[in-house]
Structure formats: C-alpha cells, structure tokens
Amino acid sequence: MKFDAPATNNAIDQLKVVGKPTPRIDGPLKTTGLAPYAYERHDVAPNAAYGYIVAAGIAKGRIASMELSAAKAAPGVLAVINARNAGKIGKGKFNTAKLLGGPVIEHYHQALALVVAETFEQARAAAALVKIEYSVSPGQFDLAAVKDSAPMPEKSSGSAPDKTQGDFASAFAQAPVQLDVSFTTPDQTHAMMEPHASTAAWEGRKLTVWTANQMIDWGVSDMAKTLGIPKADVRLVSPFVGGGFGGKLWLRADALLAALGARVVGRPVKVALQRSLIANNTVHRPATIQRIRLGASRDGKLSAISHLSWSGNLPGGSTEPAVDQTRLLYAAPHRETRVRLAVLDLPEGNAQRAPGEASGLMALEVAMDELAERLDMDPIELRVRNDTQVDPENPKREFSQRQLIECMRTGAKQFGWEKRNARPAQVRDGRWMVGMGMAAAFRGNLVMNSAARVRLNKGGSLTIETDMTDIGTGSYTIIAQTAAEMMGLTLDKVFVRLGDSNYPVSAGSGGQWGANSSTAGVYAACMRLREDIAKKLGFDVANMDFADGMVRSGARAVPLAEVAGSEGMSAEDKIEFGDLTKKYVQSTFGAHFVEVGVDAATAEIRVRRMLAVCAAGRILNPMAARSQVIGGMTMGVGAALMEELAVDKKHGFFVNHDLAGYEVPVHADIPHQDVIFLDEADPLSSPMKAKGVGELGMCGIAAAIANAVYNATGVRVRDYPITLDKLLDRLPPVA
C-alpha cells in the first residue's frame, strides 16, 4: 500500500480500541519471568556452551603477542576464537569488521578474543589466562584539544553538515540585543537493564541467533555480509528486548562472536557482554561542544541565529547532529548551522535516545532562556514571538501540524507558571532555594516502510506476524489494538508475534518511528485481508463493517469464524511512504516545565515537580505513551544532573564503565510526573494519523531543569551535568 496523500476517514478512526489506555499485553509474561530473552533461550539451544570476551586493554595500537596456551588448557575450554582463526570477517553496512579486533586495536575494550567453555565460570576463568602484549600508539582523546582543527564531516547522521541563509554575521553585529554562549555536553552511555546478549546455533549452513536487537532486518543483513554468507541463511530472533535506547540498533560483538564461536565448536554458544564492557565496547552518545549566538530586536524578534557543534568519533564515524532542531524550531531571517567532526580514538559514538535533539536542545533552550532574561521577557513569550508555521530555511514547506504555542500555554496554565518569580534566587522553602524552568521540545517525525502478515484463524481469532521489535515500548499492544480495530475483534482474539526475521520486514524500534510505521504496516495488511474477505463473500469492500467478530454488508452478517473456515485465511502487505516529507515538515512538539529545589548550604539539587505537554499526532495507547514520555523525562534528569562518562585523556577510555561509577536516576530522584497529550491527529503522517513520543520526552527536559536551577540560585551552569561542585562556591550566602 502506498501512502502519499492525506489520510481520510478509515476504520482506525472509529477509535473503539485504538486510542484507549490499554495495559501492555506482554506484561504478565514479564512480571512472571516467562518472557524469553536472548540469553535465556535454553529451550531452543540445548547443550549450549558459554563464551566470554577478552577485551583490549589499550585504546590504540597493535597486538604484539597473544599467549593462548594456558587458556586453551584450562578446564572445560572448547576453543579460543580470535582474529587469526575466526575466518574472514567482512565489513557490513555498519562497519562490523571492527567488532573483533586484531592485530590492529582501534579503541579500548574492543573485543580481541572469545573463550568458549562448558560453563560460564570456566570461560571467565580461562579468559583471565589469556596474556596479551601490546604495542601502544599515541591517540587523541580530548575533544576540546582538537576542536579548532576539526573539519566539516564527509557525512552526518543528521541533515547536511552546514546550512546558511541570509547574512548571519552582519545581522548579528547589527542586532540591538546579542547573546554569544557556549555549552558542553559529556559522553553518555546506554544503561539498559538487559546487556547486549546473544545465543547462536548453526544447522548446516544456516545460522540462527537469538539476540537483543532493535532492528532485525539490519542485523540479518550485517551478519550475512560480515560472515560472507547468503542473507537467506541467517535468522535473527528477538521477541523481547530489555531496553535498547539506540545501543542495540546494530549487530554488536556479542552476536557476531556467538556465531563465530558456535561455528568453531559445533554447538550453540551464549555470549553476554559484561556490564563493564558496554560503555567502551558498544556505542555511546558522543560529547559535544556547542556555541550559540542569537541576535534579536528589543521586542524579542530573532533576526540572527547561529548554532555550531563539535563532536568526535573514530575514523569513518558520523557526527552528533546537535544543530538539527535549530534549523526548524524558531524563525530568523539570517541563520547558520554547522557541525564539525574531530577524529578521536575513543569508542564509537552513535545513536542514543533522541540523537541530536537531546544534546542540541540542552544548549539551545538554555540560550533562549538567557536571551529572555536579557530582554526582560517571559521565556514563553519569547518563544511565541519566534514561532513559525513554515520551515525557516524553506518557507514553501509547511509543518503538517505544529502546536508548540498550545503546548507551552497549556503547560503554563497547568503548572502554575504565573507564580514563577522571574528574578532568580528569590524563592525559599526552608533551606531550599526554589526555582521554575521551562523549555520547548522538538523531535522530527520519521517514517519507515513496514510490512506485516495477518492470519484469520479457524475460530475467528487473528494472528499478526512482523519482525517489529518491542524494547519495552509497548509494540505488542499497539499492534494488537490496530488489528483489533481493523477487524472488529476484541484484544483477547488477537495474537501478536514479533522480532523474527522469518516474518515480514517492519520498521524496527528507533528514531521514534516504530509505533506509527509498524502499525501502519499492520493496517495495510488488514486492509488486504478485508479485500480478500470481500471477494470471498461477494461484498462491496467500500461498504463493509467489521464489529463484534462479524463482517456486515447491507442486511447480511457473517461471523469471522465462518469466513475463516477450517483452513483460515492470510494476507500480507506493507506500507510504503511517498514524498510527503519533502512537501511538509513532519515533527513532534512539546513543552517541559520543572520545579527544583537547591539546598542553600550543600547545593544538593532535587527535582520537585515535572510536567510535559506533547503534540505528537494521534496517541495510539495513552497508557504506554505516558510511560514513554516519563521515561524520557527521567533520562533527562540524568543528563542534566548526573550522567557523564569520565574520559581518561591519557589512556583513552571511559573510566566509570559500570553502574557503580556511572550514575543514573533512581526512584528517589524522580517526583510525580505529569503528562498531557494535546488532541491531535496528523493525516499527513500515515493512515494511523500518529507520530511518535518515544524520544520527544527526552528533548528539552534537561534544559528545563538547567533553567530551573538558574531560577532557583542565580547561577548559570553551561557545562553538563550540573553537579554540586559547579554550584557550591557560587551560591548566594546562606542567610
């Protein structure tokens, strides 16, 4: 099915099942421990051996020697796989050749060997016996030190690296009010509950990998290219993923080494990355240095806006696209946005939840707060005056929907923004200095072609099959809701099967495109099934109604169980998106409001209240969507106040590479969170008229917290995270 025109009224618009708050149908499996995660698949891979990764102890150089004899002779050891005996490893789309290093070492904790043994404990003990001597090469590990010589990248993970419009330099110089500020955001790691883990087994030439992966088809393609085997000989299975946040978008070392190990020992092999390897071995959100310049008239209209961002990566890597939201969020006739990429010998930087906007809004929305203060203007009013309903860089391209102003005004009323004292460091609650802050939220709406197979079973139930994944986001439930709505069934009559490359290729989970795209694929498949049913019954497809397990046309009503018969019926189709994104800007918007307390003596920061107001198309399941938003808000608390991978700039690695040293928010850090969804259905996004919220909740929230801390204390911190040491000596004297 081709979607290249505004969606009209369809079966989804009945909203009998879709749009209703619905508990996740996979919840009982997870709460009872019955959900089959990759490392736990003992049923499908009996007699599995265990692999343990030996990782590089340097950041850059070569292996001078690797002594394996002691490890091979250790009890239970079946094999030690390394670059010498692994066979040829190809370069997949996402540079999977780097997943097993040697003799060249490109980053700290790069996998150099896999010890395979009868038990996990034996593999771990033998791995400690592998002795490696290194030849160390000098590396570059400090972004600030090479910032000024960093070139424009050949490729960017966002839009074009550099864009200009008008004459920024002249407009900024002539602006009556100017702001020129710089920010830093640190490297951050994915702290998902389930580590990267896989179980691999070969049957002849065919490989099956049960793995934790967000994008099944990407993983199949990369595994096939890496091993040099046909794609048809690779099967990936990932029905449940214990969190991903972008870190499991691609094939990683656990899956590849499990496959290599299983091939060598001739039996299934399990590999789970040690928690301490995840920060340095897998991808992370790269650090940024950002400079923002704003020129405005005294009435708050922006005349000039510039956003420059520097980030680093391994050779061949891409940038953190921290300027992308600045290209679309506010109007200004004179503009420039640029990204620069420094070559660093740190582990690979890549997508982490809301890549680009999460980092970029941490700077842009604080800068807007600072400009509002210089103008003696309410921060919301400043944003209202610079709102736009067209792409500022291409005025012929309108936003499909843009309710940013409504988000801010709704949030201000709900949060009690009128009680905010614009003068900082004026409000006390006992020992606490209290402040409010807000920020706009923006995230682009992406769509991906997506397919599904639907089966009308004997008895009238329905089965959905698609390789879409559920990473804790509620995919099972919204897909079931979509099918139930389309076919007139209750949820207990719909069975959903996900995360298997034997199923039709879906969008996968990432970029907040999954919910809208995958359900649109299910919609397409159900439409095909409805057409087949019409042909079978001789009905006019345009005048059929599906409800209560029946299909009706005119005076005739037939139970779906009767339609299915003893053999059942099946249909398969996919949604293919046309060029609407070229004609319209499809984006999601929101506004975050935060109240914090800062201890006047110790500088301890406590978030007291949080509110997010979102405009993100039709909300398919408000219960799951709320969970996604408050999860993003929680991650924003971490980004604002505590999360930072500490770089050893001499030896080139992230020092705090475990959950003891890398701090993330816990329950005690998070107050009650409110979420409001504006009533919105975007007919230009898909037949579902939905968008996504999985990443919008993290966009802007860190800036809202930073603005609240400033309002509470009068201390502006532009280097994240905002830790006690950056406040303590600058707080007003304790009365």
Residues annotated as part of the active site: 695
| H or E element in which residue 628 lies | helix 622-641
Residue where the block lists tokens 């059929």? 544
β-pair partners for 312? 342
Question: Measuring CA to CA, which residue among 684, 730, 47, 524 is closest to residue 718?
Answer: 730
Hey, what are 106's tokens?
């490109």
| H or E element in which residue 529 lies | helix 514-537
Cα 545 from Cα 554, distance rounded (Å):
9
Question: Measuring CA to CA, which residue among 640, 646, 711 is closest to residue 669?
Answer: 640
Q: Hey, how many other C-beta atoms are within 10 angstroms of the C-beta on 548? A: 13
- 3-class state of residue 405 by DSSP: helix
| H or E element in which residue 711 lies | helix 701-713
| H or E element in which residue 440 lies | strand 432-444
DSSP sequence for 561-606: HHHHTTT-EEEEEEEEE-SHHHHEE-EEEEEEEEEEEEETTT--EE
Please give the angle made by the CA atoms of 84, 85 and 91, to the nearest 5 degrees: 75
Alpha helices in 58-111 (DSSP H): 69-72
Decide if 369 contacts 300 (C-beta within 8 A): no
Pairing of strands 569-577, 234-237: unpaired
Residue where the block lists tokens 């994104």? 581
- 3-class state of residue 349 by DSSP: strand
Torsion from C-alpha of 675, 679, 683, 688, nearest 10 degrees: 60
Residue where the block lists tokens 């709102």? 387
Q: What are residue 281's phi and psi, to 5 degrees?
A: -85, -35
